[in-house]
């Protein structure tokens, strides 16, 4: 496992959670999974993950509300949106809250892992900025 590379995965679909957990374990990360927004915020506060994968469409406390609260608690943790929502309004709102990348479901897993590695494994800030810009544009 990559020490200190914990990823919090937030999605209400348990099959997707299991898939992402398996994928991230295979490439050496430590995934924590949670199926609702309230639990996600508790785990975020307790575990201080290195990165967050967040679905926007969840019952109860939705993804935008979770993102807003994560940003209130911590502006530095990378947040990658994984959603079936293709609407420009939610995409714009996410960008305004400082997301790192936005992928529509189902994502290209190679691109997703490349983006995660950019934020967790590469020290160069310019590379991060370049990948962020590329990933946000790619989903537009």
State the residue range of the domain holding 109: 6-138
Domain assignment present for residue 26? The answer is yes
- What is the rounded radius of gyration, in angstroms, for the C-alpha atoms of the chain? 14
Name 126's bridge partners.
none
Task: Give per-residue pLDDT as tens, 16-61.
Answer: 999 999 999 999 999 999 999 999 999 999 999 999 999 999 999 9
pTM of the model: 0.84
Domain assignment present for residue 25? The answer is yes
Domain assignment present for residue 113? The answer is yes
- What is the CB neighbour count within 10 angstroms for residue 10? 29
Domain assignment present for residue 1? The answer is no
The number of domains in the chain is 1
Q: What is the CATH number of the domain that holds 58?
A: 3.40.50.2300
């Amino acid at each position: 496992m990559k020490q200190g590379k914990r990823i919090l995965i937030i999605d209400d679909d348990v099959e997707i959670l299991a898939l992402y957990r398996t994928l991230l374990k295979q490439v050496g990360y430590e995934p924590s999974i949670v199926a609702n927004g309230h639990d996600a915020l508790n785990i975020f506060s307790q575990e201080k993950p290195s990165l967050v994968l967040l679905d926007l469409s969840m019952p109860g406390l939705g993804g935008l509300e979770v993102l807003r609260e994560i940003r209130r608690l911590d502006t530095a943790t990378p947040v990658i949106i994984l959603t079936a929502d293709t609407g420009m309004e939610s995409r714009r709102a996410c960008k305004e809250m400082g997301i790192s990348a936005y992928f529509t479901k189902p994502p290209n897993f190679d691109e997703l892992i490349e983006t995660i590695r950019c934020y967790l494994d590469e020290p160069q800030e310019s590379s991060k900025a370049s990948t962020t810009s590329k990933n946000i544009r790619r989903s537009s």
